[in-house]
Amino acid sequence: MVVGASRTSFVRLHVIRFALLALGALLLGHQAVYAAQYGDGAAFSQAMTAGGHDAYWGVFTTVALSGLLLLLARSAWRVLEARRTISAGAAGPPSVVHVRSYPRELALLWPPLFGTVAVAYGIQENIEHLIAQGHLPGFAPLVGAEAPLALPILGLVTLAFALVGALVRWRLAVLEAEAARISTAQRRWRIHGSQPVLRWSLVSAIRATFWSRARQGPVRAPPAVA
């Protein structure tokens, strides 16, 4: 199945998918940074409470995980649709499709994902400090002495997300390009290889007979010598 879409809707879907991926990376990155700073015991829970996370963290976790599940479900559906189209096509060796390579997909995805998650984490921490403690820490949550590993950890987390996301994007591009090629070939075959409908054959024959009769009339006789 090939679904047509405008450039605007394509860009909108791309932005939504990127936002859901970044939201999931922000959730895991935030937890990894706090675990590196405070451990995973009582100190972790106290730090989360002191930072004002208790008021919204449950909702934030639910939304982020739901977004990741939605991405996974949609990607799985697209893979199944592309494979179904390819399986329904003519048998033969797979053709060469021209899509971006996996390293290229990774290079295009990781830098903006890392930047988006780092900025979102900094904004998130500033808002939490402002609400819970009444001040803005600025860049301290990212590069301060209290969180020296924040940026490296966020970089590793986003790299892991980008590795998986780029792999899914690359594989989907390959499958959907092959499915689109097969669908196009099938449409061309239906157009050029189909037989005319019987009623149109009859109409064409009647029309040809009518014009041949209508054009009969006085004509010039052949020369006498002939």
CA distance 202 to 121: 73
- Written as six digits, the tokens of 129 are 């400090």
Check the CA dihedral 156-157-158-161 and report its sign: positive
User: How many structural domains is the chain composed of?
Assistant: 1
Q: CA 3: distance to chain centroid?
A: 13
Q: In terms of residue numbers, what domain contains 136? A: 7-184
- Domain assignment present for residue 134? The answer is yes
- Domain assignment present for residue 74? The answer is yes
CA distance 142 to 169: 30
| Coil vs helix vs strand at 34 | helix
- Domain assignment present for residue 202? The answer is no
- Domain assignment present for residue 225? The answer is no
- Domain assignment present for residue 194? The answer is no
Q: CA 196: distance to chain centroid?
A: 40
- Domain assignment present for residue 110? The answer is yes
| Contact call for residues 157 and 163 (beta carbons, < 8 A) | no
Which residue's structure tokens are 């970089």? 155
Mind listing the pLDDT tens digit of every residue in the chain (226 residues)?
444 456 787 788 889 999 999 999 999 999 999 999 888 788 888 888 888 888 899 999 999 999 999 999 999 999 898 888 888 765 455 555 678 899 999 999 999 999 999 999 999 999 988 888 888 889 988 987 778 899 999 999 999 999 999 999 999 988 888 887 776 656 655 544 455 555 556 656 666 666 566 555 555 555 666 4
pTM of the model: 0.73
